[in-house]
Amino acid sequence: MKVDVSESKITLDYGKVYFSKVTITPDQENVGRAITIKLRESSQPDPLPSTGPEKIGVRYLEENITLRKGSQELPLPVADKRLMPASIGAVMPFRYIDIYGWKGEFSEKFIKVEFSRSSKYENRGVISFSGGQTADELNRILELTSHTLEATSFAGVFVDGDRERLPYEADAYINMLGWFASVGDVTVPRRTFEYLVKHPSWPTEWQAHMIFMAWADYLQTGDIKFLRKHYDWLKTLSLGEAISESGMVDVTKISPELKEKLKVTYPLGDIVDWPPSQRDGHEMLANNTVTNAFVYMGFKRMADIAHALGEESDRSRFSDLASGLKSVMDVKVKGQDGVYVDGIGSTHTSAHSLFIPLAFGMVDNSQRGDVLKRLATKIESYDGGFPGSVFTAQYLLEGLFESGEDDLALALMLNKTERGWMNMLNKYDATITHEAWDVQFKYNEDWTHAWGAAPANIIPRFILGVNATAPGWARWEIKPSKVLKFSAKAKIPTPHGLIDIVYDYPKRKILFSVPKGTVAELSLNHRSLQFKPGRHEAVWDIQ
Stretch 373-379: mean pLDDT:
98
Q: What is the mean pLDDT of residues 77-103?
A: 98
Q: What is the mean pLDDT of residues 481-491?
A: 98
Q: Is the peptide bond before 85 cis (omega within 30 degrees of 0)?
A: no
pLDDT of residue 543: 67
State the average pLDDT over residues 267-281: 97
Query: Per-domain residue ranges for the chain?
Result: 2-115, 475-539
Supply the pTM of this predicted model.
0.97
Please provide the CATH number assigned to the domain covering 475-539.
2.60.420.10
Query: Would you tell me how many other CB atoms lie within 10 Å of the CB of residue 334?
Result: 16
Reply yes or no on whether the pLDDT at 533 is more than 90.
yes
**Rounded Cα distance, 19 and 89, in Å:** 11
Least confident span in 24-28, 213-217, 264-268: 264-268
Residue 266's pLDDT is what? 87
Mean pLDDT of 49-70: 96
Cα 141 to Cα 421: distance, rounded to the nearest angstrom: 7
Q: Calculate the CA 192 to chain-centre distance.
A: 14
Average pLDDT, the chain: 97
Q: Which of 22, 173, 183 is nearest to 89 (CA)?
A: 22
SS3 206: helix
Question: Could you tell me the pLDDT band of residue 239, with boundaries at 50, 70 and 90?
Answer: very high
Give the three-state DSSP class for 288: strand
Cβ atoms of 340 and 354 within 8 Å: the answer is yes
In angstroms, rounded to a whole number, what is the distance separating the alpha carbons of residues 499 and 531? 13
In this structure, the number of other CB atoms found within 10 A of the CB of residue 403 comes to: 19
HSE (CB half, 13 Å, CA atoms) of 101? 15
For 418-450, the pLDDT digits (tens) are 999 999 999 999 999 999 999 999 999 999 999
% of the chain beyond a pLDDT of 70: 100
Q: Are 420 and 385 in contact (CB under 8 A)?
A: yes
3-state secondary structure of 172: helix
- Please tell me the predicted confidence (pLDDT) of residue 538: 97
CATH architecture of 2-115: Sandwich (2.60)
pLDDT at res. 135? 99
